[in-house]
Structure 1
Amino acid sequence: MTKDYGQFCGLAKAARVLGERWALLIVRDLSVGSRRFKELHEGLPGVPTSVLTTRLRELEQMDIVERRPAKQPGRGVLYALTRYGAELTPILDSLGRWGAQRMSVPAPEDVITSSSLAAALRAAYRPGVITTPRTYLIHAGPVTAWAMVDGEEVVIKTGLPESDPDLTIHAGPQLRLLLAGRLSPAEAISSGALEIEGSDTELVTFLQAFHVPLDDVTTVA
């Protein structure tokens, strides 16, 4: 961990821990769900094993991450956020929305992971738009996440939901423009940028509930 900034300031103390490379993304992934070391490593393309080990150790020392035994015997340990670490979730969502304002389409070298998709959906959710329980399954290329919503509450996970979704979306890079309202559902479907399993009405409802606008000045890909 880098040297302390030497300021009696909450932001300085937070930056000391979360300003380290990969630390925020590790916390982001664990905010979606507990992970084994291998799952974390596979879900963070480009992170060296040694760096991941060091970051996890530092986050454990700061009571942000803890190790828990897997529920199934012989399945090793899981890394999870502590209660203190889970308090970062709304902060992560706010940072995600802020960063996404100037993020239109991925650059050729950009990678989308299931955890980053799930976190993006959580950050995009607008409470109160949907008043009856709904489950949405989103495939963005090779990655998958789902959202179960009910009024003010939203549960976001990677993989497949336990119950049949009300709407399944198959999307590519244009999903970001769709969530920003820069691409209409009809345009997305007619162009082949989006395929759905479910009704057009359900898609409209989904896009009303999950929305992150783009700045008029969009300079970051």
Structure 2
Amino acid sequence: MTKDYGQFCGLARAARVLGERWALLIVRDLSVGPRRFKDIHEGLPGVPTSVLTTRLRELEQMEVLERRAAEQPGGGVLYALTAYGAELTPILDRLGRWGAQRMSAPEPGEILTSSSLAAALRAAYRPGIISAPTTYLIHAGAASAWASAGGEDLDVGADIPVCDPDVVIHAGPRLRLLLAGRLSPEDAVTSGELTIEGPAADLEVFAQAFHVPLALTVSPTASEGP
């Protein structure tokens, strides 16, 4: 690690651990679930292999993550957050909500990944709106993520859930505006920007339960993207 602020301060120490490039996004992806090196690399387009290796080693040294033997066929090594590292999850969610206030659409060159979509769903969740346990599968461009929610409980994951989802949503280019309340579920479906496999009422509930508003100064007609 190269960042050392020379201060006996919790924030300075946190910045020392997480301030290097890609470190926060590595922790974000691992907060969704353990990953092999290959999966982490593929989920962070643009990160050089050497940089990823260095960041993983640094985060392991700081006891934010650990290596585990994979139980799946083929074995190998999984990277996973430690209990200490998992304490960052609600902090990441708050940071994600804070940053999303000024995001109505991707800027040129930006993409949505499955892990970032799953983390966004977790950060957006408002407990108490979904009564009966429901599993949603969301496809947004090349990204897919799921959320199983009900009452106060929420579980999210990247890609496809193990069980069959109750509701499948195929998102159009303005999913962000739906979650911000700037695009109504009815208008999203009518315009063809979004399709749903399941009752239309489930989309209304989804939009209410997974809600992150946009700042009032942000235009909802910015460049389109998921």
Length-normalised TM-score, structure 1: 0.97
* Cα deviation, residue 73, structure 1: 5.6
Question: Secondary structure of the residue that 1:78 maps to in structure 2?
Answer: strand
Question: Secondary structure of the residue that 1:126 maps to in structure 2?
Answer: coil
- Map 1:39-118 onto structure 2 (within 5 A): 39-72=39-72, 74-118=74-118
Please say if residues 3 and 20 of structure 2, whose CA atoms lie closer than 8 Å, have aligned partners that are also in contact: no
Aligned match of 1:194 = 194
Aligned match of 1:211 = 211
Q: Which amino acid aligns with 1:76?
A: G
* Cα deviation, residue 3, structure 1: 3.5
- Map 1:164-203 onto structure 2 (within 5 A): 164-203=164-203
Q: State the aligned residue count.
A: 221
> Distance between the aligned counterparts of 2:192 and 2:108, measured in 1?
20
Q: Which amino acid aligns with 1:153?
A: D
Aligned match of 2:17 = 17
Aligned match of 1:124 = 124
> Distance between the aligned counterparts of 1:218 and 1:150, measured in 2?
31
Please say if residues 140 and 172 of structure 2, whose CA atoms lie closer than 8 Å, have aligned partners that are also in contact: yes
* Cα deviation, residue 160, structure 1: 1.3
Question: Secondary structure of the residue that 1:41 maps to in structure 2?
Answer: helix
The RMSD of aligned alpha carbons is 1.3
* Cα deviation, residue 173, structure 1: 2.7
Aligned match of 1:6 = 6
Between 94-103 and 130-139, report the one with greater CA deviation.
130-139
Please say if residues 3 and 19 of structure 2, whose CA atoms lie closer than 8 Å, have aligned partners that are also in contact: no
Between 125-134 and 68-77, report the one with greater CA deviation.
68-77
* Cα deviation, residue 162, structure 1: 2.1
Identity over aligned residues, as a percent?
72
Name stretches of at least 5 consecutive residues in structure 1 with no aligned partner.
Answer: none
> Distance between the aligned counterparts of 2:74 and 2:206, measured in 1?
40
The Cα offsets for residues 162-221 of structure 1, whole Å up to 9 and x where unpaired, read as: 222221100133000000000001111111110110111011111111000000112797
The Cα offsets for residues 119-167 of structure 1, whole Å up to 9 and x where unpaired, read as: 0000000011112111100000111100001211100001212222221
Please say if residues 106 and 173 of structure 1, whose CA atoms lie closer than 8 Å, have aligned partners that are also in contact: no
Please say if residues 113 and 143 of structure 1, whose CA atoms lie closer than 8 Å, have aligned partners that are also in contact: yes
- Map 1:23-42 onto structure 2 (within 5 A): 23-42=23-42
Between 183-192 and 81-90, report the one with greater CA deviation.
183-192
- The 1:115/1:5 distance shift into structure 2, 3 A limit, reads same
> Distance between the aligned counterparts of 2:70 and 2:172, measured in 1?
34
Name stretches of at least 5 consecutive residues in structure 2 with no aligned partner.
Answer: none
> Distance between the aligned counterparts of 1:168 and 1:37, measured in 2?
29
Question: Secondary structure of the residue that 1:99 maps to in structure 2?
Answer: helix
> Distance between the aligned counterparts of 1:212 and 1:73, measured in 2?
39
Q: Which amino acid aligns with 1:31?
A: S
> Distance between the aligned counterparts of 1:127 and 1:211, measured in 2?
11
